[in-house]
Amino acid sequence: MFTGLVEGYGSFRSRDGDRFTFNWPDSGVTFSVGESIAVNGCCLTVVEFNGHDWTANVIEETLSRTNLNFLNSGDGVNFEKPLKVSDRLGGHIVQGHVDTVGLVRRAAPDLVVGFDPNFAKYVVTKGSIAIDGVSLTVIEAGPDFLGVSLIPHTSLVTTLGVRQVGESVNLEFDIVAKYVERMYTFEARDQAGTDLSN
């Protein structure tokens, strides 16, 4: 589990088949094989670490749902290590399971992102959203877009400060909203079944 508070603004190094190699900017950070790292909000598993760069396998399912497939060598990426039980939850609960890719309609600081309208039900004003793994508060919830405001620090230390109109960003919607929808769907289905039997 993650919080959406980016810990490092690193870079994508290279791709060899399904093996993606990244560079974390902090030379003092070490990784263990099997450890999870969120890259642009997508949870990946470290399979190799050489002291400077680390590598993860990225499967087709992940590539089809995230912007990792569009990375070029040298592109900036957001990194976050998983939350420890003793840590403060400074952002919101982020699973590292990207729901869909959105497209930037207006660049930061007043960032607007468009997305498939089927996901609009998960977005509410003053609710939480993870964009490229960054925990943000929604200030505008439209039928197929959302708006957030970035403080200068967030623009400086994450990918969101350099995203331009038309570029893709990873979106993970609030897990609470998805659970509520799931429970409501089953409740409505059960109710319909009960009504039909009477």
pLDDT at 196: 46
Per-residue confidence band for 194, with pLDDT thresholds at 50, 70 and 90: low
| pTM of the entire predicted model | 0.88
Three-state secondary-structure class, residue 108: coil
Q: Do the first three CATH levels of 8-80 and 100-177 match, i.e. the same topology? A: yes
Q: Which CATH fold would you assign to the domain 100-177?
A: Elongation Factor Tu (Ef-tu); domain 3 (2.40.30)
How many other C-beta atoms can be found within 10 angstroms of the C-beta atom of residue 182? Answer: 10
Query: What is the DSSP annotation of 139-152?
Result: SEE-SSEEEEE--H
Helices (H), the chain: 60-65, 152-157, 175-197
In the chain, where are the structural domains located?
8-80, 100-177
Per residue in 128-155, pLDDT (tens digit) is 999 999 999 999 999 999 999 999 999 9
Q: Which CATH fold would you assign to the domain 8-80?
A: Elongation Factor Tu (Ef-tu); domain 3 (2.40.30)
Hey, which bits of the chain come out as E strands?
A: 8-16, 19-23, 36-39, 42-49, 53-57, 76-80, 100-106, 110-114, 128-131, 134-137, 140-141, 145-149, 168-173
